[in-house]
Structure 1
């Protein structure tokens, strides 16, 4: 069997995932980052987006919102405000949320104090759709 590391995805409400995986990628502050077993340790901000991980030939995805990632040589911990496995995401709700937040943003000014929060909501909603489309 190939070398693996432990991937944990945690939210304030629950432990979403705890699996031995061979590789993973996630959306970080400076763009997407990938991890293989034995990776150099680092800590980064987690952005809303899809997290992809592989066990053997199986590729899986989940959607995360903002948070933090702690990477070590044998363990990666993603601490996110929210995280949803692909099978937990409802397509109709996800599409409706994208439409709602896009409409809100169209009506806002960048100077609006809530603009960044709404933009973050849109990024999260789009990540949920990306994960669902990755399953098709």
Structure 2
């Protein structure tokens, strides 16, 4: 189909999606971006957020906690640290991840504490965005 691209979402546990889509909205670490067919080759890191895909068969959303996205003219592959369908069933797993992040943030100092606290804030926002 014209103006579509292959989208694959993989986490260490499993492959979550392999779809033909028209666009992928990516929560990039340096800002949100949208990948479409014929996109210039790009690699970006992800921040915790909602990754949305739109295509001929409808829209889907996934909660990601970080990772990388490789974007090319014919496809986008997301390698997520953790990824879940952005649905109520995933909330418990993300809340457990938030508690892990909070525990780690209390045990670090200096610039590492800033990074850890940013991760906690990003996961809190991710949970808010899932509502």
- Do they fold alike, i.e. is TM over 0.5? yes
CA-atom RMSD in angstroms? 3.2
* Deviation, structure 1 residue 126: 2.7
- Judged with a 3 Å threshold, the aligned counterparts in structure 2 of structure 1 residues 78 and 94 are, in CA distance, closer, same or farther, namely closer
TM-score, normalised with respect to structure 2:
0.77
Structure 2 residues not aligned, in runs of 5+? none
Once residues 57 and 19 of structure 2 are traced to their aligned partners in structure 1, the CA distance between those partners, rounded to angstroms, is 15
Call closer, same or farther: CA 1:14–1:40 in 2, change over 3 Å. Answer: same
Q: 1:45-124 to 2 correspondence within 5 Å? A: 45-56=45-56, 58-87=58-87, 89-91=89-91, 111=110, 113-124=112-123
**8 A contact 1:66–1:80 mirrored in 2:** yes
Give the distance between the partners of 1:35 and 1:53, measured in 2 at CA.
9
Q: What residue number does 1:9 align with? A: 9
**Alignment CA distance shift 1:14-1:46 (3 Å):** same
Taking structure 1 as the reference length, the TM-score comes to 0.75
Deviations 1:8-60 (A, max 9, x none): 11111111111111111111122001011111111111111110110237222
Structure 1 portions without partners, runs of 5+: none
**1:127 is paired with a residue of what secondary structure?**
helix
